[in-house]
A and B are shown apart, each in its own frame.
Chain A
Amino acid sequence: MSLIDHIANLGRNAIALVAGFGRAGLMLWGAIARVPNLAKGTPLLIRQLYVVGVQSMVIILVSGLFIGMVLALQGYNILVGFGTEDSLGPMVALSLLRELGPVVTALLFAGRAGSALTAEIGLMKSTEQLSSLEMMAVDPLRQIIAPRFWAGVISLPLLALMFTAVGIYGGHLVGVEWKGIDSGSFWSILQSSVEWRQDIVNCLIKSTVFAVVVTWIALYRGYQVIPNPEGISKATTQTVVQSSLAVLALDFLLTAMMFGS
């Protein structure tokens, strides 16, 4: 009997998982697969770009600067042992462009903006604001979900680019100003090893994929919240955990596809 129970449990979980993916897909489809109403949508989008993008800028820029500086300092200590400290530039730039820029930005974004989105929508749902919108013949998917989704998808790649650029200057600060690497060789070796298609386009692709995933998870967790305080706190935690795991797993997949062969 208990074996049957376990099997039934497994089946229930699997059905819930698939149903969850289906509901998340339907939510996103309902939100973005419409002809956008630019006159009404643009102010909403700007408002969300402010909340999601502008307010995340400080943490992204500060983290980028420090991560670039730490990378340069650790890299310098290793490279100087081989007498190749001139290669510090490509080391910092490539690790930021290929991995750290998109990934760390997405993780910070999930913590800073994703959790806020979940809590906001979860509270709207709990206080039945979403249902009231529907009663007033306003589609909550278009009014609430769509602008937040697009704001996330636009903001995260931009934030990743800022993170990377600031990180490279942080690396320059430590490598050139503090450790005394020649500025000319830092930039010239860096420039000859960074490629537009291989590195910058892939950085943008990665961060766009992460942006879709993180924003989607955050919105879905808020939309599906169990309407009580405990439910909101659980949903917020789930947003951060699930989007961080999704980002790290997807990062491996994307890296294997981009740089694997």
Chain B
Amino acid sequence: MVTRKIEILVGLFLLSGLAAFLVLVFNVANVDVKTGQSQYTLYAKFSNIGGLKVRSPVKVGGVVVGRVKAITLDEQSLLPVVEMTIDTQYNQFPETSSLSILTSGLLGEQFLGLTPGFYDEDIAMLVDGDRIDDTHSALVLEDLIGQFLYSVKSKDD
């Protein structure tokens, strides 16, 4: 016969399994639960996105305001188009804002840095579906080295 003590212990066992699962999902994988918090979508075209990936963060002064949702190649211009979702609580970015692809640390992951632009009466706020035109592409190390070598060489001549 199953005693009460065994039932309690088995219940605790199942609960601790569930607790481990929740720890892994929310603390380790950091799955975002959609808590009814709405988001809006922005687009930006770059000439080179470097190592930017889907789910890379979009940061304003280091604060994560959204994430990269999709990266596609524009069929006409053959330039990468980055689609990002921004939390609606951050909806006060003027149209003059600029985007750049930055790297955290020397060898760290890449993220999108959003720099809010100036604002006056003629300038609207960014809304869902807007495109940010002022973009700065990723610094590719090989290109930098190439430029550096080229400048050293031209000085020698």
B-contacting residues of A (Cβ < 8 Å)?
Answer: 43, 46-47, 49-50, 53-54, 57, 84, 86, 93, 97, 155, 157-159, 161-162, 164-166, 168, 187, 189-192, 194-196, 199-200, 203
Contact = CB atoms under 8 A, between A and B. Distances in A.
B20 A196 contact: no
A191 to B, nearest CB: 4
A50 B9 contact: yes
A49 B20 contact: no
Main secondary structure on chain B at its contact with chain A?
Answer: helix
A168 B18 CA distance: 16
A53 B57 CA distance: 40
- Which 6 A-B residue pairs are closest in the complex by CB-CB distance? A158-B17, A191-B30, A161-B20, A165-B20, A162-B20, A43-B2
Contact of B13 (A53, A165, A203): A53
Contacts of B107: 84
A118 B68 CA distance: 52
Interface of B: 1-2, 6-7, 9-10, 12-14, 16-21, 23-25, 27-31, 55, 57, 105, 107, 109
B109 A192 contact: yes
A162 B24 CA distance: 9
Nearest to A169: B23
A164 B6 contact: no
B5 to A, nearest CB: 9
Contacts of B30: 191-192, 194
A200 B6 contact: no
Contacts of A157: 17
B23 A191 contact: no
25 contacts: A43-B1, A43-B2, A46-B2, A46-B7, A46-B10, A53-B10, A54-B12, A54-B13, A155-B13, A158-B13, A158-B16, A158-B17, A158-B20, A158-B21, A162-B17, A162-B20, A165-B19, A165-B28, A168-B24, A187-B27, A191-B29, A191-B30, A192-B55, A192-B57, A194-B29
